[in-house]
Amino acid sequence: MRAVVITRHGPPEVLQVQDRPDPIAGPGEVRVAVKAAGINFADLLARTGMYPDAPKPPMVVGYEVAGEVESLGEGVEEFTVGDRVIAGTRFNGQAELVVAGADAVLPLPDDLSFEQGAAIPVNYATAYAGLVIMGGVQADDRVLIHAAAGGVGISATQIAKQRGAEVFGTASPEKHDAIRAQGVDHPIDYRNEDFAEVVMRITEGEGIDVAFDAIGPSSFRKDYKILRSGGRLICYGLSEVQTGEQRNLPGLLKSVASMTTATMPWWKSMMMLNENKGVFGLNMLSWWDREGTMNRALDPLLDGFSSGAFTPVVAEAFPFDRAAEAHRFIHERKNVGKVVLVP
């Protein structure tokens, strides 16, 4: 089979399409013929050597695929060959064939393309776990979603709007029409405006109920300050540690050093009791390790994909041979929605 291989840590050009042995479906597993594979920011960090949980190069990454069931391991009865499916994959997803546990495989609604299917597992599971399971978003809550034009940001916007929330979203000005179309009520130009000042002005000093942030750590402290009583901050990433196409160790060290005071410094513990605020950290890989699948965060959404309540947005699909271009596309923040690879 052909696969996109990170041959060594470095810029996008270290990605190569290589032939690798076909994986074998063991008992309880499903082998999927991949039609589309998602790219996540963690894949970019793995390529630059900034993601400690990734395998060592040469490696094939990828956490999610959409495709057709190609063969079944012993004991799998809930699927048949040819079924359209999506699956969570612990790496190795960016290949023509992938093996996943049957409990990590879900049906792909007929109305969705394979490219849209590859935009579901990580993005929507992250958004639901953060906003609903941890954040408890409900009708009339005010929700701030950073990077609202990204794959997770759009998924989070759709989920928040479906639950009746008022949505604030940060994005560059050229993306504001796109995020409004997804349900953002108040687009914020993070490049030229202080998002905290804008939020407080629009809310007349009251603040928000939930902040959903993968930018940090510099933004976490500001998020916390604009939470009103009962507010929740969900930190699910640190994209600012990767500002270029290669590893930036000084930037990483600066970010790590600032983490101790970015959100919940030890001297605020008594103040937090009076403020009635909470801070959550979300890492979907750790979630997956603990629960075995992402299904607790995906199962409640499946009817919404079938009914059209949730519509995955694909920014662009790149063939395997243009994987370096796909990574650069994300690095340059050009995408509105999910970027996927197709064999």
* 93-115 pLDDT tens trace: 999 999 999 999 999 999 999 99
- Helix, strand, or coil (residue 127): helix
Dist CA 334 CA 151 (whole Å): 12
* Strand (E) or helix (H) holding 105: strand 105-107
- CATH code that applies to domain 123-285: 3.40.50.720
Q: What is the pLDDT of residue 216?
A: 81
Cβ atoms of 2 and 95 closer than 8 Å: yes
Burial environment of residue 310 by CB neighbours within 10 A (0 to 12, 13 to 18, 19 or more): buried
**pLDDT tops 80 at residue 262:** no
* 54-95 pLDDT tens trace: 999 999 999 999 999 999 999 999 999 999 999 999 899 999
The superfamily CATH assigns to domain 2-120+314-342 is Medium-chain alcohol dehydrogenases, catalytic domain (3.90.180.10)
Which of left, alpha, beta for 278 (phi over 0: left; psi -120 to 50: alpha)? Answer: beta
pTM of this structure = 0.92
Q: What is the pLDDT of residue 271?
A: 73
**pLDDT tops 60 at residue 244:** no
Closest residue by Cα to residue 85 from 140, 30, 142, 123:
30
What are the extents of the domains in the chain?
Answer: 2-120+314-342, 123-285
Say if 2-120+314-342 and 123-285 have the same CATH topology: no
* 305-330 pLDDT tens trace: 999 999 999 999 999 999 999 999 99
Cis omega (within 30 of 0) for bond into 265: no
Which residue did the predictor score with more confidence, 255 or 46?
46
Burial environment of residue 136 by CB neighbours within 10 A (0 to 12, 13 to 18, 19 or more): middle
**pLDDT tops 80 at residue 250:** no
